[in-house]
Structure 1
Amino acid sequence: MSTAPAPSPTRRQAQKSERRADLIEATIDCLAKHGYEATTVAVVAEAVGMSRGIVNFHFDTKQKLLLATLRHLSDEYRAHWRAALTAAGPSPAARLWALAAADFDKRVCTPRKLAAWCAFWGEAKSRPTYREMCGANDEEYQGTVIELCTALAPPGRDPVRLARGIVCMLEGLWLHLLMAPRDVSREEAREVALSQLRTLLPQHFGPDGPVAAEIGEAAP
């Protein structure tokens, strides 16, 4: 009686990675639906249609599963805004514009991901590991905004305060999208953020974004 060949080590590793990814996505869904405390290994297992034993094979505790989920969200968000900066080119104005717009891209800004982020933020104060992971991401992001504002702020304007205001504005819009989704759409939130850049730095941003001179084009 013939039997199917055993999966190769490469295929087994791919299957393991796929299972872990499925569990992380299910955890994001559970955090959004049930909140932090009610998201247990059993709840995630039921949501993804796996036995608890299989879940425990990949993540033997709730904390390990949640930490992997937070790391996934952090890595995804960091890679997203870094890619937006790279695509924007060298102009500080174009880079700041791209950074603000990237926060409202549907790849990172969805109701379920915003809810998961909020669940982790609520726990970060009492969990050093969460605080460290979120803090490292925030520090790099804020440092980038400060660097861009230093290049763009007019004489006499404090670039650090300007940068902090922009970051707080973006975070506030994320929170508003989570708490009052009927009041503002993701697209509208993006336009609000870009409108604020125009207001804060009118010499660098016009109705269509960075002015021509800022992006290396001939001025009209």
Structure 2
Amino acid sequence: MRDEDEDVAPLPISSERSGRGLDRTASREVRRRQLIESTVAEIAENGLSGLKISGVAQRAKLATGMVNFHFVSKAQLLDATLDYLSEEYRLCWRHAIDNAGAAPAARLRAMMMADLDPQVCTRRRIAVWHAFYGEARARPAFLARCAQREAEHHAELVGLCAAVIEAGGGTAMEMAAERAASGLSALTDGIWLGLLFSPGRIDREPGRQTIDSFLAAVFPRAFSGK
């Protein structure tokens, strides 16, 4: 399965030195990232059960021993891959919120639209997320990592929904914000699933329109002009 958006560079998860070329430490980080990206591609194509260290090495154009040098086991490689994707996703929506200004409605919309950012919304990455979630119940380490990511994301989403309610002059009832956040999360989950199984090149625009329509329906005062 070839991802049409695979040429999109992933968000950096660590800073790298500039102006002096790569030193040994930076080269190690770059090599690890290369292997993780190869792991992402292998999982997207073959699933977690079909993942082989030799396949990761071949895709990265490295010797199998190089994979074992950076990751002592397949389990460690999978944990590192999940952590990498989690941090990439967290940086994406955090960056979107931070650059949306002070208005609660703008910040909420930015957080929602981050789910359709080309950095994180590709068929390859969505496929890998679904692969990990499918294994989460059977693997406690995956479940813990997924739960931590979800908790932070959901808490931020609830807080922004409450802020929009408050800004609209209403009472910021916790349950109202909780229900709105749960509905928004379910919406983007469904959009991702639809994109995963859609034929041809991923078209994110219908998803953006759906998010805007949902926001206007739930918060008409704040989003009626969208």
Same structural fold, with TM-score higher than 0.5 when normalized by the shorter chain: yes
What count of residue pairs does the alignment treat as equivalent? 199
Cα distance in 2, alignment partners of residues 142 and 98 from structure 1:
15
2:187 maps to amino acid = M
Whether 1:132 and 2:132 are equivalent positions in the alignment is no
Match of 1:178 in 2: 196
1:159 maps to amino acid = A
Contact 2:123-2:202 within 8 A present in 1 as well = no
Question: Following TM superposition, by how much is the alpha carbon of 1:120 offset from its aligned partner in structure 2, in angstroms?
Answer: 0.7
Question: Following TM superposition, by how much is the alpha carbon of 1:135 offset from its aligned partner in structure 2, in angstroms?
Answer: 0.9
Contact 2:104-2:164 within 8 A present in 1 as well = yes
2:65 maps to amino acid = G
Correspondent of 1:110 among 122, 127, 133 = 122
Match of 2:61 in 1: 49
What do residues 92-150 of structure 1 show as CA deviations (whole Å, max 9, x unaligned)? Answer: 11111101111101011011111111111111111111111111111111111111112
Question: Following TM superposition, by how much is the alpha carbon of 1:184 offset from its aligned partner in structure 2, in angstroms?
Answer: 6.9
Which structure would you say has the larger Rg?
A: 1
Mean CA deviation greater in 166-175 or 145-154: 145-154
Question: Following TM superposition, by how much is the alpha carbon of 1:159 offset from its aligned partner in structure 2, in angstroms?
Answer: 1.7
SS in 2 for 1:108: coil
Contact 1:101-1:194 within 8 A present in 2 as well = no
Cα distance in 1, alignment partners of residues 154 and 120 from structure 2:
18
Question: Following TM superposition, by how much is the alpha carbon of 1:53 offset from its aligned partner in structure 2, in angstroms?
Answer: 0.8
Question: Following TM superposition, by how much is the alpha carbon of 1:180 offset from its aligned partner in structure 2, in angstroms?
Answer: 2.6
Runs of 5+ unmatched residues, structure 1: 1-9, 209-220
Mean CA deviation greater in 139-148 or 198-207: 198-207
Whether 1:69 and 2:73 are equivalent positions in the alignment is no
SS in 1 for 2:99: helix
Contact 1:100-1:194 within 8 A present in 2 as well = no
Match of 1:123 in 2: 135
1:136 maps to amino acid = Q
Question: Following TM superposition, by how much is the alpha carbon of 1:89 offset from its aligned partner in structure 2, in angstroms?
Answer: 1.9
- So what's the TM-score if we normalise by structure 2? 0.83
Contact 2:122-2:202 within 8 A present in 1 as well = no
Question: Following TM superposition, by how much is the alpha carbon of 1:182 offset from its aligned partner in structure 2, in angstroms?
Answer: 4.9
Whether 1:162 and 2:180 are equivalent positions in the alignment is yes
After superposition, where does 1:95-106 map in structure 2 within 5 Å? 95-106=107-118
Match of 1:20 in 2: 32
Contact 2:57-2:67 within 8 A present in 1 as well = yes
- So what's the TM-score if we normalise by structure 1? 0.85
RMSD: 1.8
Question: Following TM superposition, by how much is the alpha carbon of 1:151 offset from its aligned partner in structure 2, in angstroms?
Answer: 2.3
2:184 maps to amino acid = I
Cα distance in 1, alignment partners of residues 147 and 102 from structure 2:
26
SS in 2 for 1:204: helix
SS in 1 for 2:102: coil
Match of 2:209 in 1: 191
SS in 2 for 1:88: coil
Cα distance in 1, alignment partners of residues 110 and 209 from structure 2:
12
Cα distance in 2, alignment partners of residues 35 and 151 from structure 1:
40
